[in-house]
Amino acid sequence: SRDNSQWSPRRADPGAWLLRGLVRCGACGVGVVCHKMRGRDGTFHRYYYCRNHDPLRAGGEDKRCNERNIRSDDLDAFVFEQVRDALLQPEVLLAGEQAIAKRAPAPDDELLDAQLARFERKIEATDGERRRLADLYQAGLIELVELQRRAKEIDARRANI
């Protein structure tokens, strides 16, 4: 599941960009970044701008995106209006709910089976390490002290699985 804590109201400073991390450039599809610019009258304006607008980031002048900066106030207001309008139409909400229901996530038992298989592979890997360690000791390639030190490391890793 995604970490949505970045959009928590506790982390939003006053005047923060509402759509930060969500907007992509309409021309080239690259994520946009946010920045403030001082206007001629000394006031600050917030903008979303394409990362590929900078020729260095884009990989050359020929790959540079020509999309203009977008005032965050304007885009935030537009998106808010679109969301508000959608929420006021029950048929749109119902269609959205049905679309989400069609994309049903994998049942919990499938997720648990996959997680269990991953843990079993990790345990088998530590068992293999221990066998190889014993082989090294039996072949006289490492001393008992080294065997004990490495075995303790393997056991600690296994305990954390």
What is the C-alpha separation between 90 and 96, in angstroms, rounded? Answer: 10
Q: How far apart are the first and last CA of the chain?
A: 21
Tokens of 111: 């997720």
Residue numbers of the chain with a pLDDT score lower than 70: 1-17, 105-107
Question: Parallel, antiparallel, or unpaired for β 70-71 and 44-50?
Answer: antiparallel
Buried (b) or exposed (e) across 80-105, using 16+ Cβ within 10 A?
Answer: eeeeeeeeeeeeeeeeeeeeeeeeee
Tell me the residue type at 124: E
What is the C-alpha separation between 80 and 70, in angstroms, rounded? Answer: 15
Q: Would you list the domain boundaries of the chain?
A: 17-102, 108-159
Residues 116-157: tens digit of each pLDDT = 999 999 999 999 999 999 999 999 999 999 999 999 999 999
Residue with token string 């939003």: 12
What is the C-alpha separation between 88 and 66, in angstroms, rounded? Answer: 36
31: helix, strand or coil: strand
Give pLDDT, residue 54. 79
Strands of 44-50's sheet, edge to edge? 32-38, 44-50, 70-71
Give pLDDT, residue 1. 47
pTM of full prediction above 0.75: no
Question: Parallel, antiparallel, or unpaired for β 32-38 and 44-50?
Answer: antiparallel
Number of other residues whose CB lies within 10 A of the CB of residue 58: 17
Give pLDDT, residue 161. 85
Tell me the residue type at 96: G
What is the C-alpha separation between 47 and 159, in angstroms, rounded? Answer: 50
Give pLDDT, residue 101. 81
